[in-house]
Structure 1
Amino acid sequence: MNHTTSTQAARLREQFIEHRARLRDVATRILGCPHRADDVVQDTFIKIAEVPDDFDIKQPVAYLYRIVRNLAIDRHRRSAFECDVFTEEEDGLDVHQEGDSPEAIAISRQYLSMIGRALEGLPARTRRAFELYRLSGLTQREIAAELNISTTLVNFMIRDALACCRNLLQNEPELAGS
């Protein structure tokens, strides 16, 4: 490790500290929540701590803003997905609480079972991309690297898996009547 590369890594961390408040503002504008923005900024610091010493960053400030933007967008998409898949038209109607009736619990389990069946019907690579994104919390870029495919393909695979789950849930007869 030479002195120049070590200096670049230190310079990136210094730039992060100097621009932290503005990075948080960027994340807040995307997410609409300062607490979630703080999480994104923290995730950004973790990402830059993992940057290899030999990684040549020509514009460290732009690099930091890009990381924050990408992480905030990923978090926003994940949140929107959760709202699409896991909530009904009337928010909170089927949210499990300690006082839920056995019937409500059974219906929730049937929904989960249906989603599991929908995912089983997907091609293995599509299902794996969806699981890595939704369950493991990996970014689309990380999934693309793991599966050795493009991020665009990952995006399409996640979209297809989500559409499959939605279609199955929308086309099933009402569970409560079964």
Structure 2
Amino acid sequence: MSFWGNTLAKLFEDHRRQLVAMVVRRVRDREIAAELVQDVYARLMQSGDCGAEEANTKVLYASVRNAVIDHHRSTYGRTQAMNGILPSQLWLCETTSPQEHAESRQALSALDRALLELSPKAREMFILHRVDGIPNTKLAKKYGISVSAVEKQLARTMRHCQERLAAYRNDD
């Protein structure tokens, strides 16, 4: 391991508990907190030494705080995307006419076709999350990926479905 690698490993050994605790207070999830801190460690390994130990420690804490801010921003964006498709966009609970019922069924068919364009894994993940209500942490464990990767995949799937529904509606 390089000098910087040794220095950073020592810094993380000394500060990891405090960093994770700081992130847990902000994101309210220990797994995500540990993942964010680990991501910062990986990024700092690539960036290099800042000089004195005090400067490296300040960079470490600032990087973790920035990672929390980035996490909140991306989570907000994904939440907005996930809320983009509402049941009311697909069908009406009580249709007032046979035509509205037919239009709702056609929109549902368009969504089904959009889901079939996805990979089987992406489709299954989306259905497990949106239909069965499986949380992201359980999906991450099921597929052996990070929670962040699950959130990103769900957001990509949601954008794909939204684009296909928008195209369907514009074709009318």
Q: Using structure 2 for the length normalisation, give the TM-score.
A: 0.50
Flag the structure with higher helix content.
2
Quick check: which has more Rg, 1 or 2? 2
Q: Using structure 1 for the length normalisation, give the TM-score.
A: 0.48
